[in-house]
Amino acid sequence: MKTMTCRQLGGPCDVAHRGDTADDVIKAQDAHLKEAEEAGDASHQAAREEMKGRWRRPVKAMGWYRDTKQTFADLPDDPA
């Protein structure tokens, strides 16, 4: 299990997302941004728009995805 923050994933805050894979934390970030947007948190709006738009530009999105997966892989495991 590893931890990445909203900020590490392109967001504005330090909410921690834990997961066994990079995909786990990416999905948690997507849910976090969606919840923040629905709650009216304007500070997360830009990150939410970027995440939604990322998948409209697949080549750029794959670069972000590879970078995020590598960042996740380089993190130490969370203490047990």
Q: What are phi and psi of 5, to 5 degrees?
A: -95, 165
**Cα separation, 6 vs 47, whole angstroms:** 9
- pTM above the 0.95 mark? no
Number of Cα atoms under 13 Å in the Cβ half of residue 79: 0
What is the tens place of the pLDDT at every residue in 39-63? 999 999 999 988 888 878 888 889 9
What is the tens place of the pLDDT at every residue in 5-37? 999 999 999 999 999 999 999 999 999 999 999
Delimit the domains of the chain by residue range: 2-74
Q: How many helices (H) and strands (E) does the chain have?
A: 3, 2
| Cβ atoms 13, 44 nearer than 8 A | yes
